Structure 1
Amino acid sequence: MSLLDASRLPARPMTAADTGPPSVTGFPAHLGRSVLDEVPRSHGPGPQGRGSGTLYGRDAELRLLADLTSRGLAGAGGALLLRGEAGIGKTALLGAARDAAVGRGGRALSAVGVQSEASIPFAGLHQLLRPILDRAPALIPRQRQALSAAFGMIEGVAPETFSVGLASLELISGLADDSPVILVIDDAQWVDRPSSEILAFIANRLDAERIVMVLAVREGHDTVLNDAGLPELPLTRLDDDAAAALLTARAPELGGAVRDRVLTEAAGNPLALIELPAALSGDRVRQSLTPWLPTTRRLERAFLSRVSELPDPTRTILLITAADDEGDLTEILRAAELLDGMTSSVGTLEPAVNAGLIDFDGRDVRFRHPLIRSAVYQAAGPSRRLAAHAALATTLKDHQERRAWHRAAASPGPDDDAALDLEAAALKALDRGAPRAAAEALRRAALLSAPDRNRGRLLLRAAEIDFELGDAVAARRHLAEARFSKLEEGERLRVALWTEALNEESWYSPERVRAFADVTDRLVGAESDGAALALRALWPLSIGCWYGDPAQETRDLVVRTARRLQRSDGDPMVLSIAACADPVEEAAWVIGRTSRVSPESIDDPAEQHALGASLTAVWAFDLSWPFLCASVDGLRRQGRLGLLGEALASQAWAAIHLGKHRLAAAAADEAGRLARDTGRPRWALVADLATATLASERGDHEAAGELIRRTEAELLSVGAQSILGFAQFARGRYALVNNQHGDAFEQLARVLDPSDIAYHPFVGYLGIADLIEAAILTGRRDEAEHHLTRLDALAEKTASPYLRAMAAYAHPLVAPDDTAEPLYQRAFRTRLKNWPFHRARLLLAYGRWLRRRRRLVESRAPLRAAMESFDALGISAFGEDARAELRAAGEAVARPAPDTLDRLTPQELQIARLAASGLTNREIGARLFLSHRTVGFHLYRIFPKLGITSRSQLCISDLGGD
């Protein structure tokens, strides 16, 4: 059955055959209502009204959904976000897509966002997965534990959001092993944030799955899904012909004048075309059609006309259902009895069902449309709404989080007991890996608490969570509010500490850093963990010093403050802060102290990353490498995808300078994907620039040039000038490998020019050897000597192995011909041993020098060694230069055989290596945050590229290494 055929059938409830048996795993039902055997309800009693199976004016949208569904059923899944105003037909299209998929043998999982449920972490995800949680035991233990922790079934270490995401993807992918799956999420703007983040994570990993996700979001609402990069389908109002056809089908009895009025008032909104004719049954409701009201308000008034005609007990049931976040009949009836003291039964629902206001499937009660819910809720007086929430809070005494939120909603003013209830809910959210939900609960608790009681403490805790999440705006707001409430001495010091840490002026002003240092001294004396807190707060100040250009006094103060907070000799956070705050003055000290620290001595992979990244800030790429590798492994195990993306980007750039180019490509590729998944676009751009640099070196000039241009444009558009230095490095390397030496010099010189927008003194020295070489090759000897003098001085002062190697590389290039040879030989023997890329480049330069002095036979050995090194590194652009020089030296050189590994994408090479090491598809997926099906899909493509037919033929030694 095609999607177009299915769209002409009336919407129907799903059967058990569509979705499988209910869960028997014991996951708590209160976390989100199950939508087993259920489809989100349509806007109106059918796709566009009861008795009308036709979707008028939606042929183009149906074709798009048909294509998406067909591709998904064939194993090329994807996601689509429907966006539009209330009543525009989003739910009808979701139902059509669902019916089409189920009609072709697919299975459906559904969820509906509920506004009052948006504060309960993972409620939406539980609603989606509840029908298949009986499959959870098949997950690997780490994924099963993450899912159980998120749903409140076990206690222990809080799971990372994206570990829960991978577990969810694996669970759904396992279902897709049996039959294709469609995920249908309606009113996604009201799905809780942790669930929304996981939905975005899943949606971006469906390319190789038999899974389709279709979501609907109401126009004008903020949600994480808006920034997930999903394809969108905006739904516009029906044109005049389609609107007239729908109205004729639904209300053929309307006279001409009334018909024209309805068409005008509805303005192409399908739900309005269905509901407004019904509102013409009485004068009171007819007033709802006054033209100055928006369509949403008109529809709410139209629905209320039906509500007003219901018996009082039924209206009580509707109010409780509107205030409820679950729809469970048992708790609704119990709360209604508490509210009015009257016993209710299923029969009390019948008038509302008959009026087309709610649906009841024998277990759950749901409004036919969100506007009915909002109309019922808003029509009740304030005291009545408070009483409804109070009744629900009493009913939910065994469900801590939901009870806390209803108790808060029932409080007309400050209520410290309710605030403490919400604080307990916040702690529960932290245990379940939902820190944003915890911060929101603490903020709401603070509003309920009196200023002279717990408000300041609650706001401070919310601010600290915001700080950890990188939400500086919310953290500043909460701290500002906390200052006007009662605080203990230690709390007041922490407020002052975080306030200074989040004040960007502190990055440049010595006075602000002194104030920060004074606070840290007092905090260390007041609290046992004061030093650790202060170092965490000082870290962003040191980052600001690296990216900015503060006075030396500011740098000195930051370093001195960090050293006073040192918890042990070789404290990794103190080393990290010193390296970033003042790379030139502190590099030698940091490099010396790092020799006493090993990655294994640092428990937290985030601290391993901080130290590894900071060592790259002082050009100590070789020393940074073990810390970055350890941090990548640790963060991967913990599922901390945000930090993992940052660590991989740092690893990619370190690998470029260390000559580990294939590893750099894999790290940059994964970093870009993870950074975008986790909302860190600037880190994604840093990773893209690494990818562009590698593309230049491979000779893929068109791809490199386009990626650099696009990335630079994005950096400028978001005001990230501090990262432009990396773009200039990529541009300079691109020009150099294309033998555009003049352009290379100009691009790289910009980074060291204080008047240029791309100026960054520390980044500028990453390309200093390229700059000097380009200067020599374009006859700028004075500039070359000037920059070499600067390089020598900095290398001596910092003791940086990289800078010393670059100086050794550059000296023979700048030296007069009659003194160059000893400098070449000394560089090969000493400084360049650990820098294979630059060693190969100097071999090329030396061979070229020998050939041009007509020492042809002698030139062949270094040129051949350079060629072989470039081939091994996968740097074809420089390899071609070495071949050309060898031919000019009289040696016949064949074109290089295509490297089999170059046929693989970075991700495919990663998967092939892991498979060759003996990991299963599920284990590989767990490491790379992919489903087992996606891993299998990639292996299916890898085998023919490698000329093999089975997994057993993969050999780790044949897959290269760095």
Structure 2
Amino acid sequence: MPLFGRDTELKDLSALVDGPGDRSGILIEGEPGIGKSTLVEQTTAAATGAGLRVLRTAGVEAESNLAFAGLQRLLYPLRREFDALPSRQFDALTTALGMSDSTDEPSIHLVGLAALTLLADSATDRAVLVVAEDVHWLDLASAEVLAFVARRIDSEPVALLATVRDATTSPLRDAGLTVMRLGPLPEDDANALLDTIAPGIPAQLRRRVLTESHGNPLALTELPTATADLTDNAPALPLTERLEQAFSARGSALPGPTRSALLVAALNDGDSTIEILTATGILLGDAVSSEVLAPAVAARLIGIGSGTVTFRHPLVRSALVAAATAEDRRRAHQALAETLEPLPDRQVWHRAAGTSGADEDVATALEDAAERSRHRGGAIAALERAAALSSTPVRRADRLLRAAELAVDSGHRETVERLVDAARMLPLTAEQEATAKWVLSGFEDGMRDSPAHIGELAALAAAVATDGFPDAGLRILWAAASRCFWSEPGPDIRRAVLAVADTFGIPDGDPRKLAIDSIVAPFERGEEVLGHLRVLATSTGRDTETDHFLSSAAYQVGAFDLASHFAGAAAPGFRAAGQLGLLTRALAIQAWSLARVGDLAAATPIAAEAAAFALETGQPFMYATVITVQAEIAALRGDYAQATALTTEAERAGLTAGARPVLATVQLTRALIAFGEGRFDDAFADLARIHNPRDPAYSPALRVCFLTE
């Protein structure tokens, strides 16, 4: 069938095929049925004809909780090329795709690097077109890997073509892809398409179809056959609902066993014909053959491939699910759960969907699946579903907050806020409320809070520890200490935080205590902290969290060589664990410290990576912090125009929340610029602001840094 009204889009897509290395790719956006898939088919056909290698995947709503499911479909054709990958990338990728016996959680960063290496190596023989449809339904792990790849293929003969529905979210929306917005077909093209589909359609029905379709090609194709649904008295439903209604009406006319098989297929998180037939047999109480699906094929609802069942359009799947009763869906999920018994990580989701009301056994099974999950996104989803099935509010809140903690480590701000809000709708214990406050401040270290809240947070930490929860109390105390870095609460509150820290009974050489002491009292306890750091510098690399605390402590007291050493030891651990939020902070400390010791060549790429990760993980103030590092590097190199532009950008973010270290580094950089340009009075004035407690740019940490240089 010819394609109507998309000449401009086809031209842009042809350019992508002709020059896959010229840009990273295109994201086609539009409502259901608007023609995204048709454009993809035309483009893949052209790419294949031009000699490109086409690799495809698609998001499926039923698979959205299966980590790396979409990536497995995409990269499985390249499996014979995995052996050429570097060993760590090979291990990460094969673990992610379930092709190894490893139970370790693979790092998104390493999996992304492996996918990038694999695609780039494959493209040395012939260019590669990666196609990812319905990315709003891709599992989060796969979507994050594809976004990681999309940001880094500019110079490779690899292009990415993706599709996404309107008003949906996906990491690929922020991956630098060119957005192609598909609108309705113009009137002439809509008429031409309708003439091709239904040339003899009566005039009155023709007008109704054109009006109802609003230029949507799928509607123009499907609605003429649903004449009973288009009477003058029919309610004015939204177009998506009208299309689903047309598909569900077609399904309702099928034999009962076929309807059951279609519902099982629609709810299954895989497309295996054997799985669908087995579960259908369980549901009906009698074995069925593939013939049960034949009427659905004839009705143009599904297609049968090599051992697989595919739906003609995602709306067919959603229409069948929506048309079924809640009891029918529950029984179908139970049949799938029985079929998938050898695959517990898939089975548990169907057990959960087949459960009505609270069920601690299933909730516990979901928690176990979260522990086994090879991606934090999958673990977060499992814990959230476990919370919904929890038998008590306390257990529900625990699971929601645990999921929120994982979301902080992974850098998913919106998810954190949503989970904490859900937990706070429940009656929380003191420990849970404290955890909620700590988790919620994880992205900004409480910079938007009043400095007076720092004392309240320290008091809460002491109370939680006294109630028998010292670890939770210490985490809250660390949050209070971190606020003393970003803002200036005054000497009284600093002493109060320090006093609480001293009551925890933590040994003086404990990395957590050193980090707290160095932030809260860098002058008073700096020498003592330094003594411990020099001893601990010989034992890095054993524990990532320990190295991270020590890097922070070293930076706060001006030991930039040690700070760089500890941060450099922490970064690989965060990278390997996929903890990109914490990796951003480790890289920022490392870049900042290297700049202070004058190793600009090493600091520059680390700062660039930290800035990229800060944006990817939604940490605007960490991004502003890294921008100031880049500004300082530019000033030290004599690029005063670049340094000025970066300080202006950073200052805007710093002033928004009163982030004193950002503003202080801005002043330090301006002083460097003024010194370089011979404006010594201006340089002195800029530096004086860092030392004035009444100035927004005053920062004890930066005073230490300045005095040690």
Query: Given the two structures, how large is their TM-score scaled by the length of structure 2?
Result: 0.90
- Alpha-carbon distance change, 609 to 751 in structure 1, aligned in 2, over 3 angstroms: same
User: How has the CA–CA distance of structure 1 residues 637 and 338 changed in structure 2, closer, same or farther, with 3 Å as cutoff?
Assistant: closer
Aligned pair partner of 2:37 in 79, 87, 91:
91
Counterpart residue number, 2:356: 412
Distance 1:442 1:743 in 2: 55
Q: Which residue identity is paired with 1:335?
A: A
**Does 1:442 pair with 2:383?**
yes
Shift of 1:300: 0.9
In structure 2, what is the equivalent of residue 669 of structure 1? 608
Separation in structure 1 between the aligned mates of residue 148 and residue 616 of structure 2, nearest angstrom? 6
Deviates more, 1:297-306 or 1:534-543: 534-543
The answer to whether the 8 Å contact 1:671/1:687 transfers is yes
The aligned runs of 1:809-820 (5 Å cut-off) are: none
- 2:127 matched residue in structure 1: 180
Cross-structure match for 2:154: 207
Aligned counterpart for 1:127 among listed residues 59, 73, 80: 73
Q: 1:741 to 1:61 in 2, by over 3 A?
A: farther
Which of 499, 512, 523 is the matching residue for 1:560?
Answer: 499
Taking a change above 3 Å as real, the CA distance of residues 499 and 121 of structure 1, as seen in their structure-2 partners, is: same
Task: Report the CA distance shift for 1:500/1:670 in structure 2 as closer, same or farther (over 3 A).
Answer: closer
Measured at CA, do residues 259 and 717 of structure 1 come closer, stay the same or move farther in structure 2, by a change above 3 Å? Answer: farther
Deviation at 1:101, TM superposition (A): 1.5
Q: Which amino acid aligns with 2:13?
A: L
Match of 2:287 in 1: 343
Which whole-Å CA distance do the structure 1 matches of 2:495 and 2:419 have between them?
A: 27
1:272 to 210, 219, 236: 219
Q: Deviations over 1:546-581 (max 9, x none)?
A: 112224333223333334446544111211111122
State yes or no: 1:376 paired with 2:325.
Answer: no
1:498 aligned partner: 435
Corresponding position: 1:519 with 2:464: yes
Read off the aligned partner of 1:264 and give its amino acid letter.
T
> Tell me, what secondary structure is at the counterpart of 1:155?
coil
In structure 1, distance between residues paired with 2:40 and 2:651: 39
Aligned pairs for 1:64-463 (under 5 A) are 64-72=12-20, 75-76=21-22, 78-152=24-98, 153-280=100-227, 283=228, 285-287=229-231, 290=234, 292-429=236-373, 432=374, 434-451=375-392, 454-455=395-396, 457-459=398-400, 461-463=402-404
Deviates most, 91-100 or 458-467: 458-467
Post-superposition offset of 1:506: 9.5
Question: Is the 8 Å Cα contact of residues 508 and 545 (structure 1) preserved in structure 2?
Answer: no
For the residue of structure 1 that corresponds to 2:468, the secondary structure is helix
CA distance in 1, matches of 2:30, 2:678: 52
Matches within 5 A, 1:643-682: 643-682=582-621
SS in 1 for 2:496: helix
**How has the CA–CA distance of structure 1 residues 623 and 315 changed in structure 2, closer, same or farther, with 3 Å as cutoff?**
closer
- 2:65·2:378 contact (CA, 8 Å) conserved in 1? yes
Q: Could you list the per-position Cα deviations for residues 258-281 of structure 1 after superposition, in whole angstroms to 9, with x for gaps in the alignment?
A: 22222221112121121111222x
| Higher Rg | 1
Structure 1's 671 and 288: CA in aligned 2 closer, same or farther, altered over 3 A? farther
How far off is 1:68 after superposition?
Answer: 2.1
Alignment check: 8 A CA contact 1:184 1:213 kept: yes
Q: Aligned partner of 2:598: which letter?
A: G
Task: Name the CA distance, whole Å, in 2 between partners of 1:569 and 1:288.
Answer: 81
Write the distance in 1 (CA, Å) between the matches of 2:264 and 2:503: 58
1:519 to 1:636, Cα distance in 2 relative to 1, 3 A = closer
Deviation of 1:190 after TM superposition, in Å, equals 0.6
Residue 436 of structure 1 aligns to which amino acid in structure 2?
G
Q: Give the structure 1 partner of residue 699 of structure 2.
A: 761
Q: Secondary structure at the match of 1:585?
A: coil
Give the deviation of 1:592 after TM superposition. 3.4
Change in CA separation of 1:678 and 1:761 when aligned onto 2, cut-off 3 Å: closer
Q: What letter corresponds to residue 699 of structure 2 in structure 1? A: P
Q: Identity, % of aligned pairs?
A: 37
Alignment correspondent of 1:55 = 3
Q: 1:466 to 1:494 in 2, by over 3 A?
A: farther
3-state SS of paired residue (1:392): helix
**Match in the other structure for 2:420:** 476
The one of 528, 531, 534 equivalent to 1:589 is: 528
Listed as ranges, the gaps of 5+ residues in structure 2 are: none
State the alpha-carbon separation in 1 of the partners of residues 233 and 77 from structure 2: 42
Between the aligned partners of 2:209 and 2:419, the Cα distance in structure 1 is 49
Report which structure shows greater RCO (CA 8 Å, sep ≥6).
2
Q: Residue 118 of structure 2 aligns to which amino acid in structure 1?
A: L
Cα RMSD of the aligned pairs, angstroms, is: 2.9
* One-letter amino acid matched to 2:364: L
* Letter paired with 2:348: A
**Cα distance in structure 1, aligned partners of 2:232 and 2:697:** 62
Report the Cα distance in structure 2 between the residues aligned to 1:558 and 1:62, rounded to whole angstroms: 63
Contact 2:107 2:576 in 1 (8 A): no
Alpha-carbon offset, residue 754 of structure 1: 5.9
Alignment of 1:721-760 (within 5 A): 723-741=662-680, 744=683, 747-748=686-687, 758-760=696-698
How far the C-alpha of 1:742 sits from its partner, in A, is 5.6
Most deviating of 666-675 and 347-356:
666-675
Corresponding residue for residue 898 of structure 1: none
How far is the alpha carbon of 1:542 from its aligned partner?
1.2
What is the CA deviation profile of residues 186-212 of structure 1, one whole-angstrom value per residue up to 9, with x for unaligned ones?
110011111111111111111122211
Alpha carbons of structure 1 residues 419 and 150: separation in structure 2 relative to 1, 3 Å? same
1:705 and 2:705 correspond: no
SS in 2 for 1:185: strand
Which residue identity does 1:644 align to in structure 2?
L
**Cα distance in structure 2, aligned partners of 1:453 and 1:476:** 14
| C-alpha deviation, 1:603, in angstroms | 1.9
Tell me if the contact between 1:689 and 1:708 (Cα under 8 Å) persists in the aligned partners.
yes
* Aligned partners of 1:725 and 1:763 also within 8 Å: no
- Contact 2:132/2:163, CA 8 A, preserved across alignment: yes
The 8 Å contact of residues 501 and 516 in structure 1, kept in 2 or not, is answered as: no
Cα 1:804–1:736 change in 2 (3 A) is closer
Q: Return the offset for 1:320.
A: 1.0
Amino acid at match of 1:305: A
**In structure 1, how many angstroms separate the alpha carbons of the residues matched to 2:308 and 2:231?**
34
Partner Cα distance (1:554, 1:228) in 2? 42
| Distance 1:202-1:712 versus aligned 2 partners, 3 A rule | same
Which amino acid letter does the alignment assign opposite residue 378 of structure 1? A
Structure-2 separation of matches of 1:288 and 1:709 = 61
Shift, 1:351, TM fit: 1.8
Letter in 1 for 2:168: H
Q: Distance in 2 between matches of 1:464 and 1:477?
A: 13
Separation in 1 of the partners of 2:389 and 2:579?
33
Whether 1:580 aligns to 2:525 is no
**How far apart, in 2, do the equivalents of 1:288 and 1:669 lie?**
61
Pair 1:192–1:383, CA change in 2 (3 A): same
Residue 369 of structure 1 and its aligned partner are, at CA, apart by 0.9
CA distance 1:606–1:233, shift in 2 (3 Å): farther
Give yes or no for contact 1:101–1:107 (8 Å, CA) kept in 2. yes
* 3-state SS of paired residue (1:56): coil
Distance in 1 (CA, whole Å) between partners of 2:135 and 2:199 is 34
Q: What does residue 794 of structure 1 align with?
A: none
Counterpart contact for 1:545–1:582, Cα < 8 Å: no
Contact 1:188–1:216 (CA under 8 A) maintained in structure 2: yes
The one-letter code sitting in structure 2 at the alignment partner of 1:299 is L
Q: What is the TM-score with the length of structure 1 in the denominator?
A: 0.68
Deviation, 1:453, is 8.8
Count of aligned pairs = 697
